Amino acid sequence: MNQGLDLENNNYFKSLEPYIQETITQSGIIIESEEQLRKCVQNLRKDKSDS
């Protein structure tokens, strides 16, 4: 079973704002690559700026 990207050891993930880290962790989605992680973060930031 593929567990996806190891977020705990990913420098980009560790550099993110705590609310973004928490949102991604609690969502339960499996991030397969850093590219996917970056797109997810971009969407979360966009959603926050729209509200």
List Cβ neighbours of 8 (8 Å cut-off, separation of 6 or more): 14
For residue 1, pLDDT over 60 is answered with: no
Q: What is the dihedral of CA 35, 43, 46, 38, to 10 degrees?
A: -20
pTM metric for this prediction: 0.83
Interval 14-48: pLDDT, tens: 999 999 999 999 999 999 999 999 999 999 999 87
Per the listing, tokens 């991604």 go with 24
Average pLDDT rounded to a whole number, residues 7-17? 96
What is the model's pLDDT at position 10? 96
**φ and ψ at residue 30, rounded to 5 degrees:** -100, 115
For residue 9, pLDDT over 60 is answered with: yes
* pLDDT band for position 2 (cuts 50, 70, 90): low
